[in-house]
């Protein structure tokens, strides 16, 4: 074997050893994308199976509670974290951006984020009794209360004034060449062609085109007048996290992610604290009852004896005997 062949083999062997020394990526290191068939139920009630790429289980809030939800693979993996149980959750920056949008939208620290970008929406049942997802969410949902004021997130020109069935307002921002949509609005305060400033009142929280009161925020780069319908198996709107992080000057908070593991631990701590508080309450009640009803001192017992104990003087308890006669 000549020198060059031996050198090449040695080089390949060295590379192989180096690759073996590298840590192996696993479900504990990064989210894994699954390519599988998923059922979707559309407004037409037709049930369709689509083969899509998605993150199978991500722990995220869905309008009412935290659940393990599928997320579309178009969402970059840097917006997810993995907890100690090997389950995925939204990264802290997602929550930081959602909070910044929510506070700007409602004009204060009120309400909550209810659904996230790329998240599969609720499961619904088709006419043929089969279950499927109603679509992939195209933006961010927020819930405050019916009729709560809504404020413009950025300056811009009003392209749509909420007169359609979804109550959609579209405001185009020239600086970022981006249209922001506000859906399900009521009592709209803006007109098409009008210019608004960030923080201007534009509408109130409504439920037009929705089953309950909430506000859907969606981002589309460029000049648009229509949002993307979420009842689809393909994510079509644009990623809001990087955009809002820059446009709203979001500073990472360093918060801990809300994971299935952290929620479980918090629930265990809550139950332990409640048990401890209940034990302290019962002890205080028992002590108060004891002080209000003190136990009476025991009655001393007098023991009567029929015989005098041995060892006592002969004259114990009697006068000494005398020989003098009794007085007459």
Q: Is 11 inside a domain boundary?
A: no
Place of tokens 């049930």: 47
Q: Is residue 141 situated within a structural domain?
A: yes
Does residue 205 form part of some domain?
yes
pLDDT confidence tier of residue 20, bands split at 50, 70 and 90? very low
Residues found in the chain = 328
| pLDDT of 12 over the 60 cut | no
Out of 20-34, 79-93, 119-133, 310-324, which region has the weakest mean confidence (pLDDT)? 20-34
pLDDT digits (tens, 9 = 90+) for 46-75: 678 899 999 988 999 998 889 899 999 999
Query: How does the average pLDDT of the chain come out, rounded?
Result: 84
* Tens-place pLDDT, residues 67-110: 899 999 999 999 999 887 778 999 999 999 999 999 999 999 99
Residue 230: count other Cβ atoms within 10 Å of its Cβ.
Answer: 22
pLDDT tier at 320, thresholds 50, 70, 90? low
10: pLDDT confidence band, cut at 50, 70 and 90?
very low
- Measured in whole angstroms, how far is the alpha carbon of residue 256 from the centre of its chain? 11
Q: What CATH number is attached to the domain comprising 203?
A: 2.70.70.10
Residue 304 lies in a domain: no
- Work out the pLDDT band at 13, boundaries 50, 70, 90: very low
Q: What is the pLDDT of residue 17?
A: 36
pLDDT band of residue 21 (cuts 50, 70, 90) is: very low
217 in a structural domain: yes
What are the residue ranges of helices labelled H in 70-214? 92-106
- The rounded distance, in Å, linking the Cα atoms of 136 and 93 is 21
Convert the pLDDT of each residue in 158-186 to its tens digit. 999 998 889 999 999 999 999 999 999 99
- Identify the DSSP state of 136: B
pLDDT digits (tens, 9 = 90+) for 264-309: 787 788 888 999 999 999 999 888 888 888 877 777 777 766 666 6
Confidence at residue 42, expressed as pLDDT on a 0 to 100 scale: 77
Domain count, the chain: 1
How sure is the predictor about 322, in pLDDT bands with cuts at 50, 70 and 90? low
> What integer pLDDT is reported at residue 142 of this predicted model?
98
Task: Tell me whether residue 85 is exposed, middle or buried, using C-beta atoms within 10 angstroms of its C-beta: 0 to 12, 13 to 18, 19 or more.
Answer: exposed
- Radius of gyration from C-alpha coordinates of the chain: 38
Cα(147)–Cα(213) distance, integer angstroms:
8
Q: What share of the chain is helix, strand, coil (3-state, %, to 5)?
A: 25, 30, 50
Residue 273 belongs to a domain: no
Q: What pLDDT is stored for residue 290 in this prediction?
A: 85
- Is 287 part of any domain? no
Query: Does residue 303 sit within a domain?
Result: no
Q: Which domain holds residue 86?
A: 33-265
Measured between alpha carbons, how far apart are the two ends of the chain, in Å?
156
- Has residue 19 got a pLDDT over 60? no
Mean pLDDT in residue range 234-245? 96
């Amino acid at each position: 074997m000549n020198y060059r062949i031996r050198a090449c083999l040695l080089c390949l062997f060295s590379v192989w050893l180096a690759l073996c020394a590298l840590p192996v990526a696993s479900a504990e290191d990064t989210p894994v994308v699954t390519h599988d068939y998923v059922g979707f139920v559309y407004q037409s009630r037709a049930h369709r199976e689509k083969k899509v790429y998605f993150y199978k289980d991500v722990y995220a809030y869905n309008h009412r509670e935290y659940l393990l939800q599928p997320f579309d693979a178009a969402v970059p993996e840097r917006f997810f974290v993995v907890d100690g149980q090997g389950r995925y959750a939204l990264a802290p920056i997602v929550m930081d951006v959602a909070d910044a949008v929510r506070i700007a939208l409602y004009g204060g620290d009120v309400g909550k984020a209810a659904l996230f970008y790329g998240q599969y929406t609720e499961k619904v049942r088709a006419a043929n009794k089969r279950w499927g997802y109603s679509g992939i969410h195209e933006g961010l949902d927020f819930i405050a209360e019916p009729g709560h004021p809504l404020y413009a997130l950025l300056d811009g020109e009003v392209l749509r004034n909420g007169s359609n069935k979804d109550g959609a307002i579209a405001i185009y921002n020239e600086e970022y060449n981006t249209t922001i949509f506000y859906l399900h609005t009521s009592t709209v305060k803006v007109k098409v062609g009008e210019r608004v400033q960030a923080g201007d009142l534009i509408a109130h929280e409504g439920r037009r085109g929705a089953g309950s009161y909430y506000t859907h925020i969606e981002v589309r780069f460029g000049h648009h007048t229509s949002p993307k319908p979420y009842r689809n198996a393909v994510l079509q709107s644009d990623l809001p996290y990087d955009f809002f992080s820059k446009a709203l000057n979001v500073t990472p908070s360093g918060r801990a992610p809300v994971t299935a593991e952290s929620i479980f631990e918090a629930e265990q701590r809550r139950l332990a604290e409640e048990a401890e508080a209940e034990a302290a309450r019962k002890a205080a009640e028992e002590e108060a009852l004891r002080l209000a009803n003190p136990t009476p001192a025991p009655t001393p017992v007098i023991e009567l004896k029929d015989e005098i104990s041995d060892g006592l003087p002969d004259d114990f308890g009697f006068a000494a005997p005398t020989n003098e006669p009794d007085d007459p």
